[in-house]
């Protein structure tokens, strides 16, 4: 076997453009657990606020978490949480945007996953049946490849 190299993709010649990436993820839980979150009755505190902060922080920290990601100029991170009844779950949607030479897909997915893991951590004392997933890239725009949207 020959020598294997690991390297960061060289984006030197790429153009800076406005780029956005949107990701979503789901955490399923019992109906009573979802109701506790809605009512703010979790001992560790406000689940949604803490998960929101985790998403933003992790988007900014993605190059530290994912070894070959470029540090990017993030200009905005939006996070939304939707409560779903059937099955009982919380859907997290993240949008990361900025102006740079490469896309924000990993930042959006890392943000969604960090929010989901934070929710899991805060709820594990009351619900050991939770399931995370899937986490998906929903759309991206900017750069040479232009617009991409996941087909429903």
Question: CA dist 15 to 7, 99, 100, 103, Å?
Answer: 20, 10, 8, 11
DSSP state of 40: T
DSSP state of 15: P
Contacts of 152 (CB under 8 A, 6+ apart): none
Confidence band, pLDDT 50/70/90 cuts, at residue 7? confident
pTM for the whole thing?
Answer: 0.93
Mean pLDDT confidence for 108-137: 97
Confidence band, pLDDT 50/70/90 cuts, at residue 81? very high
Per-residue pLDDT at 1 exceeds 70: no
Give me the CATH topology for the region 17-143.
Alpha-Beta Plaits (3.30.70)
CA–CA dist 21, 19 (Å, integer): 7
Confidence band, pLDDT 50/70/90 cuts, at residue 43? very high
More confident call, 23 vs 10? 23
26 neighbors 71 (Cβ within 8 angstroms): no
Active-site positions read: 121
Confidence band, pLDDT 50/70/90 cuts, at residue 10? confident
For residue range 54-75, list pLDDT tens digits in order: 999 999 999 999 999 999 999 9
């Amino acid at each position: 076997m020959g020598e294997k190299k690991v390297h960061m993709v060289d984006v030197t010649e790429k153009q800076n453009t406005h780029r956005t990436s949107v990701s979503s993820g789901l955490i399923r839980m019992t109906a009573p657990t979802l109701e506790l979150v809605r009512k703010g009755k979790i001992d560790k505190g406000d689940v949604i606020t803490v998960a929101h902060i985790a998403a933003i922080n992790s988007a900014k920290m993605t190059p530290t978490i994912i070894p070959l990601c470029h540090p990017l100029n993030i200009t905005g991170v939006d996070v939304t949480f939707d409560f779903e009844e059937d099955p009982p779950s919380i859907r997290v949607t993240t949008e990361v945007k900025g102006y740079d030479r490469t896309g924000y897909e990993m930042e959006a997915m890392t943000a969604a996953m960090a929010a989901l893991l934070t929710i899991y951590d805060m709820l594990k004392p009351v619900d050991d049946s939770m399931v995370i997933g899937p986490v998906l890239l929903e759309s991206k725009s900017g750069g040479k490849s232009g617009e991409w949207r996941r087909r429903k």
